[in-house]
């Protein structure tokens, strides 16, 4: 018996599907430890991944600690207790729920469940980068609708009419982030309702409400109540942002029971761990903590907005816990200089926005440090502001 000989220079990466080979990888925010390693800086703050600096409540931390005793056991694959808690929280049947390892995994599940090479899916220019990634990985066509122009009332925002126009007979998914990341922009409630009514039944509308806790305080309500009248609506929520649990990886989808059933067939058996389930249950029992943190952050966002305006800097309207700031020149350099100053923000050149930075709202003292650094790096903007 002899093993088949391998060619001298094997390229096993070439074995990946053409669709996957063509993907551009998602670029996450730089971790604090990486900046410390590369630049030898110790006092680093990260305002790059829209995390919630207040974190979870002490009750959630205690629940995680208590759950550690059971880490040798597989988690409850059906997430029974968590789904009961979510169903009560949302006043909806458990059959409408699918839990995910962050909403990112739910996006993957939706793509794998509803798309193949014969289909297309719709998203918006400047929409969340994960959407085109999960669409294209399936071999489906990604139809990108142009966003509103920089000078529009909602600059860089989703143009729902444009999105409606690109829907085809083979479209199965339409992705809307409300508010959107990285822009922070949102779609008006009434306009979104009309849009959902107009989308044909062969396409599911995936309404990503990752920033709901901040959005509600910014006058942008949830579209969840429309679920009863629209079986093709899927609402995504996460514990990563408002709930301060980004490191645990847990989110959920709310949909028609048949959509949930289809997603749950494909869902990895133990996709959400014990600690994450315990934390989410405890978090739902402490809504005051989340509301409090969201209030502080939205208050800080308003303060940062005023400071940016005073510096003469432009930014897109935001209903989230972050702002997309126009540097008025290549943002790559500003990003680098901010890194040297120990402040990690997010360049978004990959979105086709090379002059903008996405900056998460942190604690008041972190925001002050960011503003001071930004002001020192963009003196031209400052001069324009005082002119």
Residue 210, interface with ligand PLP (CB under 6 A)? yes
Here the tokens at position 97 are 């729920």
Q: Where are the beta strands (DSSP E) in the chain?
A: 45-46, 97-100, 120-124, 141-145, 171-177, 204-208, 233-238, 251-254, 314-315, 322-326, 343-344, 346-347, 356-360
How far is residue 103's CA from residue 100's CA, in Å, rounded to a whole number? 6
Q: Does 351 bind ligand PLP (CB under 6 A)?
A: no
State yes or no: residue 251 binds ligand PLP (CB under 6 A).
yes
Q: Which stretch binds ligand PLP (CB under 6 A): 17-25, 30-38, 96-104, 366-374?
A: 96-104
- Of the pair 46, 241, the CB lying nearest ligand PLP is at 241
Residue 248 lies near ligand PLP (rule: CB under 6 A): no
124/146 Cα distance (integer angstroms): 6
- From 79, 123, 147, 177, residue interacting with ligand PLP (rule: CB under 6 A): 177
Report the residue number, 278 or 378, with the smaller CB distance to ligand PLP: 278
Please, which residues bridge with residue 207 across strands?
Answer: 176, 235
| Smallest separation (angstroms) from ligand PLP to the CB of 208 | 5
Q: Which phi and psi (to 5°) does residue 222 adopt?
A: -75, 155
Shortest Å, Cβ 100 to ligand PLP = 7
Nearer to ligand PLP, 181 or 185 (CB): 181
Question: For residue 289, how many other CB atoms are within 10 A of its CB?
Answer: 19
Contact between 267 and 260 under an 8 Å Cβ cutoff? The reply is no
Q: How far is the CB of 116 from ligand PLP (least distance, A)?
A: 23
* Residue 184 in contact with ligand PLP, rule: CB under 6 A: no
* Kind plus residue range of the DSSP H or E element containing 259: helix 257-266
Establish if 104 lies at the interface with ligand PLP (CB under 6 A): yes
Could you say which of 57, 138, 181, 255 contacts ligand PLP (CB under 6 A)? Answer: 181
What is the smallest separation between the CB atom of 120 and ligand PLP, expressed in angstroms? Answer: 21
User: 246, 262, 307, 332: which one contacts ligand PLP (CB under 6 A)?
Assistant: 246
DSSP 47-61: -SS---TT-S-HHHH
- 178 touches ligand PLP by CB under 6 A: no
Residues 31-70 that bind ligand PLP (CB under 6 A): 50
Q: C-alpha angle 184/360/241, rounded to 5°?
A: 80
* Dihedral (CA of 182, 124, 172, 212) sign: positive
CB of 5 to ligand PLP, least distance (A): 44
Selected from 44, 94, 125, 128, the binder of ligand PLP by CB under 6 A is 128
Residues, the chain: 387
Span interacting with ligand PLP, options 83-91, 140-148, 238-246, 301-309, rule CB under 6 A: 238-246
How far apart (Å, rounded) are the C-alpha atoms in residues 295 and 310?
Answer: 23
Binding residue for ligand PLP, selected from 103, 232, 318, 321, defined by CB under 6 A:
103
- For residue 30 the two structure tokens come to 């730089």
- The footprint of ligand PLP (CB under 6 A) covers 50, 102-104, 128, 177, 181, 208, 210, 238, 240-241, 246, 251
């Amino acid at each position: 018996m002899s093993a088949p000989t391998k060619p001298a220079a094997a390229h096993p990466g070439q074995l990946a599907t053409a669709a996957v080979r063509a993907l551009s990888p998602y670029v996450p925010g730089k971790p604090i430890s990486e900046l410390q390693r590369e630049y030898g800086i110790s006092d680093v703050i990260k305002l790059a991944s829209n995390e919630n600096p207040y974190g979870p409540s002490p009750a959630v931390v205690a629940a995680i600690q208590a759950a550690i005793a059971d880490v040798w056991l597989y988690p409850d694959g059906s997430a029974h207790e968590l789904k009961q808690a979510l169903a009560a929280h949302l006043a909806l049947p458990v059959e409408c729920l699918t839990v995910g390892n962050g909403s990112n995994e739910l996006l993957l599940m939706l793509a794998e469940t509803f798309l193949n090479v014969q289909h297309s899916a719709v998203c918006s220019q400047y929409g969340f980068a994960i959407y085109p990634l999960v669409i294209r990985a399936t071999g489906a066509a990604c139809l990108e609708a142009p966003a509103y122009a920089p000078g529009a009332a909602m600059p860089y925002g989703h143009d729902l009419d444009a999105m409606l126009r690109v829907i085809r007979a083979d479209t199965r998914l339409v992705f809307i982030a409300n508010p959107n990341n990285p822009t922070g922009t949102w779609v008006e409630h009434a306009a979104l309702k009309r849009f959902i009514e107009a989308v044909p039944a062969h396409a599911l509308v995936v309404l990503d409400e990752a920033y709901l806790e901040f959005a509600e305080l910014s006058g942008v309500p949830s579209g969840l109540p429309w679920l009863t009248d629209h079986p093709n609506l899927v609402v995504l929520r996460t514990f990563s942002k408002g709930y301060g649990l980004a490191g645990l990886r847990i989110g959920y989808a709310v949909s028609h029971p048949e959509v949930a059933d289809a997603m749950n067939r494909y869902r990895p058996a133990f996709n959400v761990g014990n600690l994450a389930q315990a934390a989410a249950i405890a978090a739902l029992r402490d809504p005051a903590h989340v509301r409090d943190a969201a209030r502080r952050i939205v208050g800080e966002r308003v303060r940062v907005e005023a400071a940016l305006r005073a510096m003469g800097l432009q930014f897109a309207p935001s209903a989230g816990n972050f702002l997309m700031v126009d540097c008025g020149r290549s943002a790559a350099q500003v990003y680098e200089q901010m890194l040297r100053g120990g402040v990690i923000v997010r360049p978004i050149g990959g979105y086709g926005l090379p002059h903008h930075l996405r900056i998460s709202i942190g604690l008041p003292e972190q925001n002050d440090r960011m503003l001071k650094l930004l002001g020192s790096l963009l003196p031209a903007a400052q001069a324009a502001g005082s002119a």
